[in-house]
Structure 1
Amino acid sequence: MAYETGQQLPQQTFRVTRADLVRYAGASGDFNPIHWSQRTAEGVGLPGVIAHGMYTMALAGRAVTNWVGRADAVLDIGVRFTRPVPVPDTDGGTSVDFTAVIKSVSEDGLVTFDLTATCGGEKVLAQARVVIRQV
């Protein structure tokens, strides 16, 4: 795909359930109870159990690889976490939506994306930027 500055990429939506958080905790070793215990999460002032920030960032990476078609094209990804992703104790969980706009395309084939991630209409990542090598 040839990218152009200002080009908008189609929205991608990922479901996040409590079961996903359990699997991620096992894979990452991050067993912080705010990611599985409603009582603990609420006790520290959160709206409930929240997704791991790095899991949300991984979903951003997955959206990018879906857009570009190759994981090895991604050279850099960086985000700031602005809001937690609350995950209700339901079969459907919640959804995180990703969109992107092409910020720049260099002559040497580097493409910079500005990425937006929202959950429940709230922006959950800020300064989310990805650089890929166009092939």
Structure 2
Amino acid sequence: MSAVAERPRRVQVDFHAVEPHQRHMDRRLANWARWCNGTSAPMTSPMFRMTPPPPRVRADMAYQISDVLDTADATKMAKAVAALPQSNRTAINWHYVKPVSPKRACQALGATMEGLAKLVRDGRQMLINRDI
């Protein structure tokens, strides 16, 4: 018998899944991200701007054209996110403002995919607990 090393299984992490009790905070963080990026519209090629968004796991949270940028809330969120612990702050910033590949974010934070998802989830929960 030959000893064959089994490859570790890749764990699929859905970074778009948001727990129901965190959806309001997710929506506020999305507003903050649009404010940080200087636009209230998603970055889309002009050719595809009128295309409806694809169905998502959280369809009730999908971006809608009628969403208005709330700058007052965005500035509150910016202060609140800045007060988070460094690893959670970096994960929240990655998830909402500068979503590079998850692999690169994991390398930057020294975390696994599951760890990155936990940092984002915990960061949202910290913001909820602080009653921002």
Do they fold alike, i.e. is TM over 0.5? no
Q: In terms of Rg, which structure is larger?
A: 2
Q: TM-score range by the shorter chain?
A: under 0.3
Q: TM-score with structure 1 length normalisation? A: 0.22
Q: TM-score with structure 2 length normalisation? A: 0.23
Q: Whose helix proportion is higher, 1 or 2?
A: 2
